[in-house]
Amino acid sequence: MTPVALRWSGDAAGTLELLDQTLLPGRVSWLACRDVPVVIEAIRSLRVRGAPAIGIAGAYGTVLAAAEATRLQLAPAPALAHVQARAAELATARPTAVNLRWAVARCLRALDALPAGAPAAALATTLLATAREIHAEDERLCAAMGRHGAAVLPPGGVLTHCNTGGLATGGVGTALAAITTAWDQGRRFEVFADETRPLLQGARLTAWELVQRGIPVTVLCDGAAAALLATGRVGSCIVGADRIAANGDAANKIGTYGLALVAAAHGIPFFVAAPSSTFDLTLATGAGIPIEERAAAEVLAPLGVPAAPAGARAYNPAFDVTPAHLIRGLITEHGVISPVTAAEILQVLGP
């Protein structure tokens, strides 16, 4: 069973339902979102997370913006302005993942096909159709990435970092899809998941997904990855990404860069899986990727449990950037980009 991160209930006046990932693995609870501020809070608080999933949530959020305008009985011009303003808020709810901005912009472009003076209800109908398209497309892209990723994973154990499965996407996942697809094809190997500190997305979410699917998983502290790779039990590492620059530098959950360095030191191939919507070809290198700085409490009191003395400060970037030269291949819905260069990226993805 592939876990589902989000779903839409009803028509254009319906509800966005999010699986609250902050409560996993102890509790499975769905959050009903009927207005945009609730969606923004859910994105910022990581109730919904993963670049593709928050992009889909942002797309459905624009539908809620139009529904707000309908409830407020706004005339066509103010209704459109309301949707545009809410869309700007949604697009900047988290700064690093480019999928959010991409999905919201695509929804707004869909409104250009409507006649001038279209009422709020018409805006909502068009936005819902577009959001559903984005959601369905991501499901197909995930399946394709799973197939391409499974085909290139070498023999041996597989180590992953953070969460890149159904909880992070609209389908079976990105990096985790390669693992689960290979498993479903009959291959057997050890699966390792970094805890992924400070919020333990690997332990709480990736391990939970794999257990739900009946795939054995071993969880390890992030700091144990180097020792594990030294044993020879790991044949490859595979992670996701929140934004990939034109040259292939990839931003992913904090700790990914260190893992890539260790993998390179041991000659272990390191793969990144992400859909084409995660690529930001306007940025020449990863130096231009904005890195989200999150609250100190996530480090000093992770999951609400004090872990440092009062008065201590925290360094808490949510992401780091792995240079392209450390990445063996970028797994996309169009195939695997290898070697990872700007020219090869354009060759596979197009301009």
Catalytic residue among 138, 194, 222, 242: 242
Q: Which of 89, 58, 51 is nearest to 276 (CA)?
A: 51
CA distance 349 to 339: 14
Q: Look up 112 and say whether it is catalytic.
A: no
Angle at 97 between CA 52 and CA 346, to 5 degrees: 85
Q: Which residues of 4-21 are buried (b: 16+ CB within 10 A; e: fewer)?
A: ebbebeeebbbbbbbbbb
Q: What is the DSSP string of 175-198?
A: HHHHHHHHHHTT----EEEE--TT
In the chain, DSSP finds a helix count (H) and a strand count (E) of 12, 14
Closest Cα partner for 197 from 82, 298, 68? 298
Among 3, 33, 268, 14, residue whose Cα is nearest residue 142 = 3
Inter-residue contact 328 to 271 (CB < 8 Å): yes
The CA distance from 311 to 298, in Å, is 15
Contact yes or no for 299/318 (Cβ under 8 A): no
Q: Which of 115, 3, 135 is nearest to 62 (CA)?
A: 135
Cis amide bond preceding 52, omega within 30: no
State the catalytic residues: 242
